[in-house]
Amino acid sequence: MFTGIVAGTGRITSIIRRAEDFSLEVDAGGFVPEPVIGESVAVDGVCLTVTSARGQTLSFDVSVETLSRTSLGAAKPGNAVNLERAMRMGDRLGGHLVSGHVDAVGALVSASPSGQGYEVEVELPAEGMKYVIEKGSIAISGISLTVAQKKERSVTVAVIPHTWSATILPGLRPGGRVNIEYDMIGKYVENFMSAFHGAGKSGPSGGEISEEFLARHGFLK
């Protein structure tokens, strides 16, 4: 589990391609001190497992599923990536709950100065817009950000100077691919309500929340 508070940026040093997937090497640049084999690190918002470490050069295996759903499928040596180490129980939750399980790939529309910071607009897939609410949370390439404005197919976020300088955002250009993770609370609520509506259609309550429904789902004993 992560918080979306990026520690800093690393750089992809090599990609070892296999038949369908690949192994990724990243120079973590000191942002993952004393790395441990088997620990989780968010690389551009993608939860990956450290398979080997030589100093600050970390290796990760990237699965076919991850390549198909994230921007890592188009990764190249030399690319900068956001890095965040998994949080410990009891750590401060400075951003919001981020799983590192990317939902979709978006595209940068624009990044323009706004006050001391920047206003960034990102295009999202149409099917994901239902998870976006103004003033809600969204993770863009692993960065915890607050939705300033929701448009028909995009969101704008306000980025403070520290976040701008500590992440890959300055290097992105219009059309650049970014990993999107929607607020997990919204996704869980949708899943729960889908189950409720499905139960209601065939149940005696006609879709209403009944004692039977609450007991079946663990709310009553």
Q: How far is CA 2 from CA 82, 96, 208, in A?
A: 13, 8, 36
pTM: predicted TM-score of the whole model, two decimal places: 0.87
Q: Where are the alpha helices (DSSP H) in 97-208?
A: 161-166, 184-202
Q: Tens digit of pLDDT for each residue in 43-58?
A: 999 999 999 999 999 9
pLDDT digits (tens, 9 = 90+) for 133-154: 999 999 999 999 999 999 999 9
Average pLDDT taken over every residue of the chain: 91
Is the per-residue pLDDT at 198 higher than 70?
Answer: no
pLDDT of 196: 65
Residue 8: both structure tokens together: 């800093």
Q: How confident is the model at residue 205 (pLDDT cuts 50, 70, 90)?
A: very low
How far is the C-alpha of 79 from the C-alpha of 10, rounded, in Å?
A: 8
Which is nearest to 41 in space by CA: 87, 108, 104, 74?
Answer: 87
